[in-house]
Amino acid sequence: MNSESPSKTRIITGLSGGVDSSVTALLLKQQGYDVSCVFMKNWEEDDPNQQCTAEGDAKDAMAVCDLLKIDLDAINFAKTYWNNVFDHFLTEYRQGRTPNPDILCNKEVKFKAFLNYALKQGADYIATGHYARIGNNNGEFQLLKADDQNKDQTYFLYTLGQKQLAHTLFPLGDLTKPEVRQLATDAGLPNHAKKDSTGICFIGERHFKQFLSRYLPAQPGEMQTPDGECIGSHDGLMYYTIGQRQGLGIGGRQGGQAEPWFVLEKDLKRNVLIVGQGHDHPLLFHSSLTASDLHWISGRTPELPFCCRAKTRYRQQEQPCEIVALNNGQCVVHFDQPQRAITPGQSVVFYDETACLGGGIIERAFN
């Protein structure tokens, strides 16, 4: 934060209509900053039900700004989202991988297109409702985990760099979700009880298989055990992810084990989905992975080999690992213990205590 008085510090908050971004604006306003808000429209609706949801979010954002007496602008980043996020999303699914659009959305839309817009408008900072913190270590900005470990979102923010962190504020970083809800209630925010969004970034909560089928033709195929026994059919490899249990449509088999079935692997060449029984099936566990599109928040690649902790999915606890090789823009990561359901297309994110160091896209898992 610059040394000028709050009233001379201009902050543009990305307002989604949800409670987190609304409390972000509320806190900054209460602290005396020159606050305005932007509602980002990044998807051209083609679903009447979803259109109603988007309109509802916009109305909630307007109601919050009216209450707080804050200016609100609506900006359309739909073309940027399609070209830089959704097109990549489709390409990944076409290749049988499982991408994380929220990470790319943060990189290309919220902390690039929106940030550039805000700086051109003369803002000193942008602010969002992410649960994360920003530190400064001898002039170098750090992305730090939120105090609320259950809500920490640094996994989705590992693509940020020094420029982004220098012009960003995360006012919710030292708050818990219940505290945020209470602040919204105490301030009389009209959306204080609104449930959290769990859908795809800016696309919303949709029937995923139905939505994806609009853009990619499904290619049904066989569902097989690791031994090659056909036990059913799948609707298209793009609809499944490693470790998935729900939606396989495999009932109990006569004389078979009672354990549930899980996706173990995707055989793209044969268009076969490999499945097996048991949450801890051996084929779900791998000790190593390769990752590409590496990004380091400091802007510097650490000297390898490098020991730290990492996680390969959002809700996972960070695990000890060693990054041992780097070539052709890729790295190899060896974990101290085998990890379950490492998924190509998802991200591996590196940590040192509370600091998020960066990460990359998982290419393959192996032992």
In the chain the first and final C-alpha atoms are separated, in Å, by 46
Cα distances (Å, whole numbers) of residue 132 to 22, 135, 143, 296? 16, 10, 7, 17
Instruction: Return the H-helix or E-strand segment holding 88.
Output: helix 87-94
| Catalytic residue check, 105 | yes
Instruction: Identify whether the C-beta of residue 85 lies closer than 8 Å to the C-beta of residue 104.
Output: yes
Amino acid symbol at 138:
N
Kind plus residue range of the DSSP H or E element containing 208: helix 208-213
- The torsion angles phi and psi of 29, rounded to 5 degrees, stand at -65, -45
Q: Following DSSP, what letter does each residue of 270-301 receive, concatenated?
A: TTEEEEEESTT-GGGEEEEEEEEEEEETTSSP
Catalytically annotated residue among 37, 65, 201, 356: 201
Coil, strand, or helix at residue 109? helix
Backbone angles phi, psi at 60, to 5 degrees: -65, -40
Please, which residues bridge with residue 136 across strands? 141
Q: What are phi and psi of 64, to 5 degrees?
A: -65, -45
Catalytic residue among 37, 52, 65, 105: 105
d(CA 73, CA 96): 39
Q: Is 308 a catalytic residue?
A: no
Query: Can you tell me the distance from the alpha carbon of 176 to that of 178, in angstroms, rounded to the nearest whole number?
Result: 6
Hey, which residues are catalytic here? 105, 201
